[in-house]
Amino acid sequence: MPRAAIVSAGWYGFKPEVGELSFREMMFEAALRAYSAAGVDPRRDVDAFFSCQEDYWEGIAITDEFAPEPIGGVLRPTSTVAGDFIQCLGQAVMLVRTGYFDLVAVESHAKPSDIATIKGVMDMALDPLYLRPLDPPNPHFIGGLMANAFLARTGLGREALAMVAAKNKNAGLSNPRASHAAPVTLGDVLSAKPVVDPLTGYDIAPFSDAAIVMLVASEEAARRLTDTPVWIEGVGWSTESGTGSLAWHQWDSMPSIRMAVDMAKSMAGLSGRPQTFTSFAELEDRYSFMEILSMEEAGIAGPEEAYSMLEAGDTEPSGNYPVNPSGGSLAAGVALEATGGFRVLEAYERLMAMGEELEPGAERALVVSWRGPPTRTAMAVILGV
């Protein structure tokens, strides 16, 4: 089966508000950087294009009409997917592995600063008969309910969530994309007033404007275009029944993460706990408790072990198994459908920086992301050099 690798990436934004460009101009800037880094002309060298976006977030019906032009896909095979960046990455891998496509562009973007009514958009995703009429006053109420259920099942306390929030806010201080990073202490988080019980403002990732483009290549094209390809060894995604209808949720867990990780591991031919074959992980953390839940569902550690790892500093950027060394979404923000792309971008750059002299399979990373409430869709990628 042909292999697929990420050979270049471009991005723009990762700010609370990108006021100088429209979302289409952000797409163009990110694409220009990705194509320039690989030295390719999209109108000649790229065989197909994918864009992950959602009409509701754009505020435009049939928003896929706007996808081809900014990324060089006019009159070329261009597909849009209503989902996270990682789901588009999976589509690109499938095309490359057919053997008929050498180079595929993957794009996703977000401009939440343009959305006047975030709560209104999120309400439209709720069950229209039983939930939407309740008109919940805070769009994070689902995150709060999930956090309470998770704490009740695991027996963990608020301190565990505060440790995640403080770790990631501080880790982001060295990341130029982490606009929401800050020198935060455990005491700062524990003494803050909850926004939605039990989550404070430190426990909830703010939004960011961002655009990301990556080039996925066949092995032959990857060897031609770069000395440092990052191989997509496994990719998986899963949607649980009950998306949009909260009554069916398992509030204290997220099996879709487990299924997505298992799918990625199966494709990569790997088994066992992720820390036995990866050296770090970029995990879902738009709510602080989600980092611990992601560790559990991915098979890294149960809640108590995850707490012990946090307490011992094992998941710090310099720890034995760094989790979200980038600062995660708590430091860089939630970029809507580009959120998974941010996590892949962080893992890609970290692996690429490890150098071209490593033996194959020497370093790997696990990426896990969630499409966000009220969905129950999760994605996972295993990258390696």
Put the strands of the sheet holding 78-81 in their side by side order. Answer: 78-81, 48-52, 103-110, 209-218, 4-15, 230-239, 377-384, 364-370, 280-282
Burial of 239 (0-12, 13-18, 19+ CB in 10 A): middle
Phi, psi of 133 (to 5 degrees): -65, -20
This prediction has a pTM of 0.96
Angstrom distance (rounded) from CA 302 to CA 90: 28
How many beta carbons lie within 10 A of that of residue 176, not counting itself?
A: 9
pLDDT tens readout for residues 19-70: 999 999 999 999 999 999 999 999 999 999 999 998 888 888 888 888 999 9
Q: How confident is the model at residue 335 (pLDDT cuts 50, 70, 90)?
A: very high
* Total residues belonging to the chain: 385
How many beta carbons lie within 10 A of that of residue 238, not counting itself?
A: 19
Burial of 349 (0-12, 13-18, 19+ CB in 10 A): middle
Rounded average pLDDT over 117-122: 89
Rounded average pLDDT over 210-224: 97
Angstrom distance (rounded) from CA 143 to CA 150: 10
What secondary structure, in 3-state letters, does 158-193 show? HHHHHHHHHHHHHHHHHCCCCCCCCCCCHHHHHHCC
Query: Is-contact 204 331, C-beta < 8 A?
Result: no
Please report the pLDDT score of residue 99 as a whole number: 96
Angstrom distance (rounded) from CA 377 to CA 243: 8
Say whether pLDDT at 242 is over 80: no
Asked whether the CA dihedral 234, 240, 246, 252 is positive or negative, the reply is: negative
Rounded average pLDDT over 78-98: 96
Instruction: Tell me the sheet residues that pair with 384.
Output: 231, 364
What is the average pLDDT value for the chain, to the nearest integer?
Answer: 94
Q: Which residue has the higher pLDDT, 226 or 137?
A: 226
Of 6-10, 14-18, 52-56, 206-210, where does mean pLDDT reach its minimum? 52-56
Please report the pLDDT score of residue 268 as a whole number: 97
Say whether pLDDT at 364 is over 80: yes
Please report the pLDDT score of residue 245 as a whole number: 61
pLDDT tens readout for residues 299-321: 999 999 999 999 999 999 999 99
Q: How confident is the model at residue 366 (pLDDT cuts 50, 70, 90)?
A: very high
Nearest-Å Rg of the Cα atoms of the chain is: 20
Q: Beta strand 364-370 with 209-218: parallel, antiparallel or unpaired?
A: unpaired
Percent of the chain with pLDDT over 70: 96
Closest CA to 128 of 244, 250, 249: 244
Rounded average pLDDT over 250-272: 96
Identity of the highest mean pLDDT range in 52-66, 117-131, 290-304: 290-304
Say whether pLDDT at 217 is over 90: yes
Of 155-164, 303-312, 360-369, where does mean pLDDT reach its minimum? 360-369
Torsion angle of the four alpha carbons 42, 26, 83, 174, in this order, in degrees rounded to the nearest 10? 110
Q: Where are the domains of the chain?
A: 4-115+206-384
| The domain defined by 4-115+206-384 carries CATH number 3.30.70.20 | no
Give all strands (DSSP E) within the chain, no chain letters. Answer: 4-15, 48-52, 78-81, 103-110, 194-196, 199-200, 209-218, 230-239, 280-282, 364-370, 377-384
Rounded average pLDDT over 137-164: 95
Angstrom distance (rounded) from CA 338 to CA 341: 5
Percent of the chain with pLDDT over 90: 83
